[in-house]
Structure 1
Amino acid sequence: MICNFPCTQYGICCKNISHIMELQAFDLGNGVCKYLDLDSNMCKIYDDRPEICNIESMYEKHFYRFYTKEEFIRLNIESCNAMQERFGIEDRFRIK
């Protein structure tokens, strides 16, 4: 059973935010979030990150009526892996 999103910290989601309306103010202009540390792939504001960047928070506040938590996490894992594949990211970063 999956309880929380098992992020592999590649940062591909943080490098492709231009299509996310709620994150437009965070976009450096190239689709990369201004709060992503490109050396470590870590969020500089992780503890205070926007709600849309927090899978568990999004589930608890918006999606709990539509999915079980495990279903919601699984959908996000599938999306993450698909994005990594689309951008040619090494398999070692895929969520198993």
Structure 2
Amino acid sequence: MHKTFPCTACGKCCQRVNNSEQTAFLDRGDGVCKHFDMETKLCSIYETRPLVCRVEDYYKAHLAHLYSWDDFVEMNIQICNRL
């Protein structure tokens, strides 16, 4: 991969885990990830977070054969902007 994923750690994706089949299992019941700390706006299990939350690793494992890294990043930036 050429560049790292440009995550700003805003937490918006962590507050909408119910919107995706891949992350719905993390929903604490209100759409927010059960590991998202609302006070700090950080993941409470960051070092051991699930594969789906590890953007680059998830891409390599499941999507690299479908999209280039640059296209994947662009798609995700568009999603981030809509959140």
Which structure has more RCO (C-alpha within 8 Å, separation ≥ 6)?
Answer: 1
The residue number in structure 1 matching 2:14 is 14
What secondary structure does 2:58 align onto?
helix
Provide TM-score, normalisation by structure 1: 0.75
Given that 1:17 and 1:27 are in contact with CA atoms closer than 8 Å, whether structure 2 keeps it comes out as yes
Unaligned runs of 5+ in 2: none
RMSD in angstroms over aligned alpha carbons?
Answer: 1.8
Pairs aligned (count): 83
Given that 1:15 and 1:31 are in contact with CA atoms closer than 8 Å, whether structure 2 keeps it comes out as yes
- Identity, in percent, stands at 35
Give the number of the structure whose alpha-carbon radius of gyration is greater.
1
Unaligned runs of 5+ in 1: 84-96
Alignment CA distance shift 1:22-1:67 (3 Å): closer
CA distance in 2, matches of 1:39, 1:13: 16
Q: What's the offset of the Cα at 1:37?
A: 1.0
